[in-house]
Amino acid sequence: MTVDQMATPAQAPGTIDAWFARQAAARGDAVAVTGADGRLTYAELERDANRLAHRLRVLGVGPEIPVAVCVERTTSLVTALLAVLKAGGAYVPLDPSAPVERLRFTLADANAAVLLTDRAERGLRAPHTVLTGRDGEDLTGYPETAPPAPGTGPSSLAYVIYTSGSTGVPKGVMIEHRNVTGLLTGVRDRFGFGPDDVWSLCASAAFDVSVWEMWGALLHGGRLVVVPDEVRRAPQELHALLHREGVTVLNQTPAAFRQLVRYEEEHPGPGAPAELALRLVVFAGEALPPEMLRPWIARHGDAAPALVNMYGITETTVHSTYRRITSADLDGGAGSMIGGPLDGWTMDVLGADGEPVAEGAAGELYVGGAGVARGYLGRPALTAERFLPDPDAAVPGARRYRSGDSARRAADGDHEYLGRLDHQVKIRGYRIELGEIENALTRHPAVRDTVVAVDRDAAGDPRLVAYWVGSAGTPAGPSELREHLGLTLPDYMLPNVYVALDRLPLTRNGKVDRRALPAPEAVRPELDAEFAAPATPVEKVIADIWAEMLSVDRVGRDDDFFELGGHSMLATQAVALTRDQLGVAATLRLFFDRPTVRELASALDELLAAQHDTGAGHRPASHPHHPHGENA
């Protein structure tokens, strides 16, 4: 079926795990999930999750009991999350790449009695720890044909996902089973999801888009492809995986999808990327400028894959709206159109007085209906502030969520997303409270005042800029500040640029005047490392690529790409340019492991020498192509 055909599904079971069990009974021999560690059929996933669920029950897991899950992106991650639900508990996903202090905070705040992990040496502690995966506990003695009777129902807690907090403390959003089953029942009608679909799991389990990707695949009988972390960051490898696995349903942030668009643009004609099996691409996580899709639509047309923009927030269960994007949206300067609410959801645009604004006027977006979360774990005051009674709901006691997003509604029911009303931002799909970064930065003894803002890099993508005022007699540089933040904040929350100021600009009311903050200069920032000019041909090529990409006047051989303002999206572009200019099989993993010009050049020299010895290379290391052309 196409995305515009409708189907009438049978009533979905009341819990996620019960719905999966029905699929496992019907599709036992079909492959359920594939990953770098192998594959599992529906019957095998059901068996493994049942065994682990019984083990968790022995440890006291049951309804409303949080279980932390810190597992790499493998089939074992899917087994672990399903097992928690089968045991009746609520999973609390932890991103293994996050700083250990942040993971410890989440463990303590969630009061998780059990930790499921694939590595004992992560430095995390809980009253009970269960090793899972290939080196995990032997569970062969536990029942495999049926899960324990968990005593859960539609209103039981399914998971708690932590989001950035404006007070500097992350907060856990509590989602019930009915929220997820309500979402997936409704979208199955709209999109015609079924067993022929292949979904990719690109998002971290610690972000709510993973709920859509994982359970969207498994509860509709499809196949889930767990995308390795290094692959999802690299457009060439991701494109190859999508082709190889025959992925039909892809969820992407606009920033991530832009990398795929650029990859196809840069490889036309003979040897162009193979055609993909995609029938649906869903955009979420940040504003979608339709113009960025022009090259993709020009290549693929409007028929397939269907391009759909879906607005959503963790507190309203992943997605709340639907808007098909076509070539008609490329003309007329349309903004980020997010459409109308999904079946079972409601959307209201209200003014400061809580009353509906006029058609076409901007107001705050309130979301109600089936997806509204239970609230914030252990934060009753914040829950009462953001989750408000819904006076228009037919169900007594129903609430709607005050999103903090600005939007306006058109006469046809379409909505345009206008941005945030506060200092929360979304960058490359990650939800970030700027106040959390500011609070962490001011904990450094060298920082007296700070404000974090967002501007655009040379490619037009958003980036974080930290403005800071130093404390007298306590010097510090960008490298030290970045290292300090990295102890408690994940990589996506680390500012790309650090700007030292004598004082912060203030308004007449004494508040920080964000509009008066200076734009970062296009010069090499004052890094801790002294500038040293590139010394080899390969170093010069790398330095020139970085300087152009990061809009700085010069790059030294000991400069760190990320300390210069780079981020993961720019890193993927830098890898592609490096491959093109040097004719060497550079990888994103190598880029992260060797982030300075000198280190990367040394590694690439070794690769070039190996290619030359085997006859695989076509450009010797001593004569690399210049990024601006032969005559530059």
Residues 414 and 332 reside in one and the same domain: yes
DSSP H helical ranges for 66-204:
75-86, 100-110, 177-191
Q: What predicted TM-score, i.e. pTM, was given to this entire model?
A: 0.78
Supply angle C-alpha 339, 345, 347, rounded to 5: 55
Residues 436 and 417 reside in one and the same domain: no
| Residue that finishes a domain, picked among 459, 487, 516 | 516
Say whether pLDDT at 155 is over 90.
Answer: yes
Say whether pLDDT at 29 is over 50.
Answer: yes
Q: pLDDT at position 525, please?
A: 59
| 212 assigned to some structural domain | no
Residues 555 and 509 reside in one and the same domain: no
Q: pLDDT at position 45, please?
A: 98
Q: pLDDT at position 200, please?
A: 97
* Mean pLDDT value across residues 555-559: 86
CATH number at residue 321: 3.40.50.12780
* Mean pLDDT value across residues 349-371: 93
Q: pLDDT at position 270, please?
A: 59
Q: pLDDT at position 427, please?
A: 79
Cα–Cα distance, 622 to 603 (Å, whole number): 14
617 pLDDT band, cuts 50/70/90, is: very low
Helix (H) or strand (E) holding 366: strand 362-369
**Total structural domains in the chain?**
4
Q: pLDDT at position 333, please?
A: 61
CATH number at residue 128: 3.40.50.980
pLDDT in tens, 85-138: 999 999 999 999 999 999 999 999 999 999 999 998 888 989 999 999 888 899
Residues 396 and 276 reside in one and the same domain: yes
| 2 assigned to some structural domain | no
Say whether pLDDT at 512 is over 80.
Answer: no
Residues 548 and 512 reside in one and the same domain: no
Residues 275 and 384 reside in one and the same domain: yes
523 pLDDT band, cuts 50/70/90, is: low
Q: pLDDT at position 176, please?
A: 98
pLDDT in tens, 406-432: 899 988 889 999 888 877 777 777 778
**Share above pLDDT 70 across residues of the chain, in percent, rounded to a whole number:** 90
| 531 assigned to some structural domain | no
Rounded mean pLDDT of the chain?
A: 86
Residues 363 and 501 reside in one and the same domain: no
| Residue that finishes a domain, picked among 421, 453, 471 | 421
Count of beta carbons in the 10 Å neighbourhood of residue 245 = 16
Cα–Cα distance, 6 to 194 (Å, whole number): 12
- 61 vs 229, higher pLDDT: 61
3-state secondary structure of 537: helix
**Share above pLDDT 90 across residues of the chain, in percent, rounded to a whole number:** 46
Residues 161 and 85 reside in one and the same domain: yes
434 pLDDT band, cuts 50/70/90, is: confident
Q: pLDDT at position 443, please?
A: 83
Say whether pLDDT at 327 is over 80.
Answer: yes
| 497 assigned to some structural domain | yes
* Mean pLDDT value across residues 360-368: 93
- 336 vs 12, higher pLDDT: 336
Cα–Cα distance, 201 to 172 (Å, whole number): 22
433 pLDDT band, cuts 50/70/90, is: confident
**581, 626 in Cβ contact below 8 A?**
yes
614 pLDDT band, cuts 50/70/90, is: low
Q: pLDDT at position 261, please?
A: 87
* Integer CA distances (angstroms), 505 to 325, 441, 449, 478, 509, in order: 41, 18, 11, 21, 11
Least confident of 337-341, 343-347, 450-454, 559-563: 559-563
| 598 assigned to some structural domain | yes
Q: pLDDT at position 593, please?
A: 83
Edge-to-edge strand order for the sheet containing 447-456? 447-456, 462-470, 497-500
Cα–Cα distance, 239 to 267 (Å, whole number): 12
Residues 467 and 405 reside in one and the same domain: no
Q: Residues with Cβ < 8 Å from 183, sequence gap 6 or more?
A: 212, 317, 318, 319, 342, 370, 371
Q: pLDDT at position 479, please?
A: 80
Q: pLDDT at position 462, please?
A: 81
Q: What are phi and psi of 378, to 5 degrees?
A: 65, 15
| 183 assigned to some structural domain | no
Residues 443 and 414 reside in one and the same domain: no
Give me the numbers of helices (H) and strands (E) for the chain, helices first please.
17, 27
* Mean pLDDT value across residues 43-62: 96
Strand partners, 455: 463
Q: What are phi and psi of 332, to 5 degrees?
A: 100, 0
Strand partners, 160: 174
pLDDT in tens, 448-491: 888 888 888 766 778 888 998 888 777 788 888 888 988 888 88
Say whether pLDDT at 632 is over 60.
Answer: no
Q: pLDDT at position 619, please?
A: 42
Residues 294 and 407 reside in one and the same domain: yes
| 204 assigned to some structural domain | no
How many residues does the structure list for the chain? 632
Q: pLDDT at position 173, please?
A: 98
| 337 assigned to some structural domain | yes
Read off the amino acid at residue 541.
V
| Residue that finishes a domain, picked among 421, 455, 489 | 421
Domain extent, residue 125, equals 10-177
* Mean pLDDT value across residues 613-620: 52
Residues 543 and 502 reside in one and the same domain: no
Cα–Cα distance, 55 to 386 (Å, whole number): 37
Say whether pLDDT at 218 is over 60.
Answer: yes
9 pLDDT band, cuts 50/70/90, is: very low
* Integer CA distances (angstroms), 170 to 31, 337, 438, 465, 483, in order: 37, 29, 13, 21, 20
Maximum C-alpha span of the chain? 75
CATH number at residue 481: 3.30.300.30
Least confident of 250-259, 433-442, 491-500: 433-442
